[in-house]
Structure 1
């Protein structure tokens, strides 16, 4: 009997090693998967088949095979035309340290130009929305005013009360002749079926699950989720941030209560970049009904009435490349900090490079503060968050638990000029596995506003110290250490 068990264990271990090493991945994820496959025979392989496989070559080609040169050239021409028109008409945006922001951010701008082919978007007007009520009130009003086209992309589009309300607005605009396209993630929108979007399709609109051309068991994967939140209306108004579409984001879920998130609404040249990324996502998800990536209806001229003073870059990242663009942006932001680096994230599971960047900043005298929720939405992930929070606290980083409901915001504020708002968490999944989008902001007023919001959230948060972490129960600490071992694949 013992001999049989040893033989089976050797076979299981051998197959586990072959299974994991046959696909290239970073060493941390490699060892985490080997641990799962060895410690959980049979079941571990089932889990791996859904959550461990790399993105298929078919899906990779859907992204990598798209030619973006003409679209990028069109966007550059539109921005240049807006600059020249502004000069002719005497339009001079309010200064307010905008140049100072760009001086500090120049290396970050160059980084994104090189690894994400993302141009600096100028002349933007940005408004922050930090409650579900404010976000959805603005969104619904803008959707109702749409005249030509509406493009929405959300990780979660639930078929609940709010989901039906948003869908019905889209149906009404489609019947009025507005072109409507919706991308949703099949897993993130679990429970929302094709039937839910049937009224939209009947009205002439379109809806497609992200990169899911067939929903079969063989094709199903838990990884590589479309975590982006993009809205573009008439090519003039854009939204990006952390909110999804569902009742819980309005605080209607008793489990979470108040939902604290951060989204931004923008007009200006940054909308062109959001539009470009949506078009690429749509054409990769529904190649039988492609959208014209250089159409004037998606990229209208930038009118003076929509312009502001803020500079920003729209940055995307995903498993179709190994560049980890948003993670690189986060690290560069941390490196640029001289006075403060304040972070909000629901999931704090940094890889070694991000952990070291935070540790170096704190040891260099930077005021590093990280705010996370006081409650889990994914218990196993939350234990890993607690582990890393405790470790970072040892280096003088101030850790806060937000206690007024659930904190879902993904923000970073650096000094007086730089900030980031988007969909990417400070964790392995957002860095390596999910398709994400962030706005990196180079404007002192925007940075000061986000810092003010952070201070307000501090009033309903509790600081966690080295002492308080040391007082945690042994069983809780054990769960945290186990979660940490599997952090690269959570």
Structure 2
């Protein structure tokens, strides 16, 4: 057993080292070109200096987040020619544009199945015009309607979701779609895999898609073939390659499970033992998820199929998977699942969060594992607090990434001074991505308060309004708060000076974290 683990470790470790080595070689070659231009070809070097000045003007006028502009301009100022070469190298890559073209084409094909029910939106306008306007934005820009007739069940821990998802998988009769950011050969995944194999034998269609980051250390590179042999259709999204490419920065961070088009799961919980506290990595793991039954499941079904079909020559018969007989859920409220793409220049995930902060009347309560935010989000959080809204954030006390935690704490002083209350979860790590507001609105999904989630990853979440589940989300927030420590400005001031300096330096590359 030990020799097998050692062999697997050596394979994985060797794979990671090879990828890193090849990436370093490419960066060194770029540096070599830069040095040759500087030493041997002064006229070309001088020409690149002019190009750098033009790029600075171009970046200043570009329709892009100021934080990303600043990161590029810092690089251009520190090393004008190398910065210009690197910027041109990144921007002239076509892989991301090709992925976006294919995705937009599929979204256009599926749009006929995601039309907004006019009766629902008309009713919502009478209840709350602000929420109706958010729904209109989502259908016009994001392409996802708002629904009624959908029941939501909230899970305050990963182990609760794990138990329910196993029960629902057992009930599957037609198809099971799974899309996850992280999957690790573990008790959790192996338990689910056993069920999936049984379902395949029963004639159920099973598809599984996971992000290519798993191929670095969690799974063998040819793992899709392993699942194919079991009768499970499998894809690895954007496999990690030893090539400098911006497309590899756009990970599939979604967590989706759809069963028969009738049941869907969404939330922060991946397929690994720490997510269900079967093992302990960073203390107690606090995570959340929801289960939907009813009309709104259709959005998650098509969300999965859109991603699955990106690299398919012949697209699915989408209607086959959504022609589900409607069932009355006896549920109240409005439910809006939505996805967010990093390639369409529309920051849907962030805009939903900003809308909640801008329209709050009493409170906005947030759980997030990371706090690496741009000026827009900082302004929204502080302005809400300054106008008397009770803004509370729960973050981890035991981080999974020390550099990200160090950077997160650099935002504490400005937030605390504005009246935002920051709490750290003392038992361990918070991985939940939750907003709740005014006993009326809530969001549960995969979207963190950091640049990667808000700008660089494929994400998904569920917004719900005036459902009974909103109270469950807020109740869970209050229960979690009882296990947290309030962070004061005095606590921040006691931090080691080198810790603060390190966090400040990390802000220079915050958009890349």
Which of the five TM-score ranges fits, normalised by the shorter chain?
0.7 to 0.9
Deviation at 1:30, TM superposition (A): 3.3
Deviation at 1:110, TM superposition (A): 2.1
How far 1:337 moved relative to its partner? 0.4
Query: Cα distance, 1:130 vs. partner?
Result: 1.7
Cα 1:264–1:16, aligned 2, differ >3 Å: closer, same or farther?
A: farther
TM-score (norm 1): 0.85
Which shows bigger deviation, 175-184 or 105-114? 105-114
Cross-structure match for 2:225: 198
Q: 1:231: Cα distance to partner?
A: 0.8
Tell me the matched-pair count: 466
- Which one of 427, 441, 444 corresponds to residue 421 of structure 1? 444
Question: Does the CA-based 8 Å contact 1:162-1:245 persist in structure 2?
Answer: yes
The one of 271, 277, 281 aligned to 1:255:
281
For 2:409 and 2:50, the matched residues in 1 are separated by 33
Please say if 1:287 is aligned against 2:326. Answer: no
Matches within 5 A, 1:2-401: 14=49, 17=52, 25-35=64-74, 56-69=96-109, 71-76=110-115, 102=128, 105-188=131-214, 190=216, 191-212=218-239, 215=241, 217=243, 222-284=248-310, 286-288=311-313, 290-295=315-320, 297-304=321-328, 306=329, 308-401=331-424
Q: Which moved more, 1:11-20 or 1:446-455?
A: 11-20
Unmatched segments (≥5 aa) in structure 2: 1-34
The match for 2:496 is 473
1:284-333, CA deviations, whole angstroms, 9 ceiling, x for partnerless residues?
A: 1x4146322221x44312112x4522311111112221110111111011
Higher relative contact order (CA 8 A, sep 6+): 1
- Cα displacement (A) at 1:448: 1.8
Answer with 163-172 or 469-478: which moved more.
163-172
Q: CA–CA distance in 1 between the matches of 2:301 and 2:382? A: 37
Deviation at 1:354, TM superposition (A): 1.2
What is the alpha-carbon distance in structure 2 between the residues aligned to residue 143 and residue 231 of structure 1? 9
| Whole-angstrom CA distance in 1 between matches of 2:429 and 2:51 | 38
| 1:405 alignment partner, one of 428, 441, 450 | 428
SS at match of 1:65: helix
Distance of 2:269 and 2:443 partners within structure 1: 15
SS in 2 for 1:68: helix
Is 1:105–1:418's contact at 8 Å kept on the other side of the alignment? no
Structure 1 pair 196–188 and aligned structure 2 pair: CA distance change class (3 A): closer
Residues 124 and 131, structure 2, Cα contact 8 Å, conserved in 1: no
Q: Per the alignment, in what secondary structure is the counterpart of residue 326 of structure 2?
A: coil
For residues 448-476 of structure 1, what are the alpha-carbon distances to aligned partners after superposition, in whole Å with 9 as ceiling and x for unaligned?
22111111111110000122112212111
- Structure in which a larger fraction of residues adopt helix: 2
Matches of 1:399 and 1:282, distance apart in 2? 39
User: Are residues 174 and 50 of structure 1, via their aligned partners in 2, closer, same or farther at CA, if it must alter by over 3 Å?
Assistant: farther
Question: What is the TM-score normalised by the length of structure 2?
Answer: 0.82
Of 203-212 and 97-106, the range deviating more from structure 2? 97-106
Shift of 1:437: 0.4
Contact 2:125 2:132 in 1 (8 A): no
Cα separation, 2, equivalents of 1:149 and 1:288: 21
Distance 1:6 1:279 in 2: 48
- Judge conservation of contact 1:343–1:412 (CA < 8 Å) in 2: yes
Contact in 2 for aligned 1:272/1:299 (Cα 8 Å)? no
Looking at structure 1, the residues matched to 327 and 85 of structure 2 have their Cα atoms a distance apart, in angstroms, of 54
